[in-house]
Structure formats: C-alpha cells, structure tokens
A = this chain, B = another copy of it.
Amino acid sequence: MVKVIKNSFKIRKRGRKQSQSSGLPPGTMYFFEENSSKLVNVTHTIYDENNVEIIKTHKTPKIELESAKRPIHWVNVDGLTQKEILSDLGKTFKLHRLLLEDVLNTEHRPKIDFYENHLFFTLKALHFNTETYELDTEQVSFVLGSNFILSFQDRSENAFEKIYERFETGRLKSKHADYLMYSLLDFIVDSYFYVVENIEEAIDDLETDLLAGVEANYLTRIQSIRKVLMLLRKTVFPLRESIITLQKTESMLIAADTQKYFQDLLDHVIHVSESIDYQQNTNTSLKELYISMQGNKMNKTIHLLTLVSTVFIPLTFIVGVYGMNFNNMPELESENGYLIVWTVMILLAILLLLLFKRRKWL
C-alpha cells in the first residue's frame, strides 16, 4: 500500500562529495561531471544605454574587453561540463585559479571573495516543485568586473529568462554591471520567499490537523519540515554574511547608488532568515504539542484500563470464590446466598465508583 503523506517535503540529492577532489593540488579544476560532448548553453549579452545584443552559443564567446565602462558584457554559462569554456573565460577575464576551482565546486557554501579587479559571489538558487514537494538546490556563481559579469549555473535550463525580458522595458540598460548583478541576486532571493511560504502553509496544515485530531503522519511531516528548514538555514545564513561583507568592504565595483539596492536585498535576506527561525520554532512547538497530546492519550487509555480492571478484578475474584467446589460451603446452601453476593458485588462496585469520583478519577 502506498502511503501518501500530506505536504511532506523531499530534498533532491546529487550525491556529489567535496572529498572527491581532496588531495588534488590547490587551484585544480575538478569537474564533478566532465563531458566535453555535452552541449553547454552560453548566452553572451552586450549592452549599453542604447543597445542590447544577445548572442546564444555553445562555445566561449569572443570578447575584446575595453577599458571603457561601456559596453557591458554579460556571459551566462548554463552547465559545468566543459573544461575548455572555463579555461578560455579564465584567460579572457584574468581569473585566479582558486576562483575557477570555486566555480566548479557546486557544493560550496555561499561566500564572497574579492580579487584585484573583480569579485566572486556564489550562492544557492532554490527550485521547488509544488507537485512533488521536492526541493532542489543549484549552485550559482557570479564574477563581477567593472564592465562585465560572468554567471555560472550548474543546471542547463535558462533560469534568467525573465531578466533578459527586462532589458526591453526596464532600467537595466541604463545602469552599470553592479545593478545587473543586484538584479540577478534579487531574482534568486525572491524565489526563497516562495519556498518559505510553502513551508509556512505546510506548518499551518499540520497545526490544523493536530488540533482537529485528524489521523495523519505527524512525525514524518514534522521531520520533513525540519530537514527542509535546516537546509534553508544552511543556504540563507551564509548569504546574509556575504552581503554584509559586500556592503562593508566598499569595493570600487559597487557604485554608491547601487548600495541602496544591496541594502534592500539584505533586508529581504534578513526577512527570509527570520522567517526560517520563526518556522523552526513553530515546528518545534508543534512537535512538542504532538508529543504532549500523545502523552495525554496514553494517560486516558491507561486510565480506562485501570478503571475497568479495578472494578472488575475484585468482583471476578468473588464470583470465583463461589465457583469453588468445596463440600462444606455454607453460603452456597443458604437460601439468599446468591442474592446476597449480588448485593455485595453491586455495593462494592458503587463504592469503588464513588471513591473514584471523589478523587476526580471519573
């Protein structure tokens, strides 16, 4: 029999292990899944105030970086399987070997690193499937220079489609590369709210079921919520630190008026992290409530057992006595023996029940 558990979250596992690359010299590019024949989607966007050009390819785009602030180049790489593309980008944008190693490490915790002419930012995007209640995390890394952005995604779907649309209508074109990075980060953080609200709903459902006494797989649900919240915590809390570091460092790469936006981003991340705390507390309180309710139920069950036993065990003893086959039992021959025994038993039962009543046992 398949048991469908309401709102029970699942976490997708990749089976990738950081230790696979351990023992290698530092700065070695380790591919979890190197496959030079698998197509990698590369989107190269070149824009300034007036023009936007979007080139879709499967190879490293040819880029001539100018010293001028414009045009801005955005290279988005969907899929981390081809060594050549990464090396080429590394050479074009003069990336540190440790940076390239970090891009490939899709099990990395969110962090920010500052290099001479660029900065590196890595975080987790969350993909939540409302059908299967499966949560998937994806490593997304950014390299921000004064006039370029590189973005790397582990999965090959183009998650940034909506951002490309904004080039048409929004202020994106007129802003610098730092604003584009903010927009991309904001886009990812926005998706966290979605997950958090789904958890909130699951917790609400859980509480409603619990208080209504609906028979449901509480423990499994509580445990699944707990696990998802722990994963979210691991995803969001280091991100918070990273953004704070970004603000404090006063890098030349982030313009003063973009700082305002990063402050807003930080507000969102703090909001998410407080929601996670709040829901962890709620989940814990529901777990404790459930356990207390179980305790209550057991109390009542044992209470009933004790009541029934305490009343009937002595009575059964009495009827046992007069079931004995001794020759010489005067009560048995007595005319009213049977009646007297019944009277005694009924009185005894009433007595016990009164006793229980007085002790608030009934």
Contact = CB atoms under 8 A, between A and B. Distances in A.
Interface string A322-362: 11111111011101111001000000000000000000100
Contacts of A333: 327
A194 interface: yes
Given A22-B194, A305-B309, A271 B109 contact: yes
B338 A197 contact: no
A223 B289 contact: yes
Nearest to A166: B25
A320 B316 contact: yes
Contacts of A314: 308, 312
Give the number of times this chain occurs in the complex, counting copies.
Answer: 5
Contacts of A282: 227, 230
A299 B298 contact: yes
A216 to B, nearest CB: 13
Interface residues of A, number: 98
Chain A interface mostly helix, strand, loop or mixed? helix
Interface of A: 17-19, 22-23, 25-26, 96, 98, 102, 108-109, 111, 113, 162, 166, 170-171, 182-183, 186-187, 190-191, 193-194, 197, 211, 213, 215, 219-220, 223, 226-227, 230, 234, 238, 260-261, 263-264, 267, 270-271, 274, 278, 281-282, 285, 287-299, 301-306, 308-310, 312-317, 319-329, 331-333, 335-338, 341, 360
6 contacts: A22-B193, A219-B296, A295-B298, A319-B321, A322-B325, A322-B326
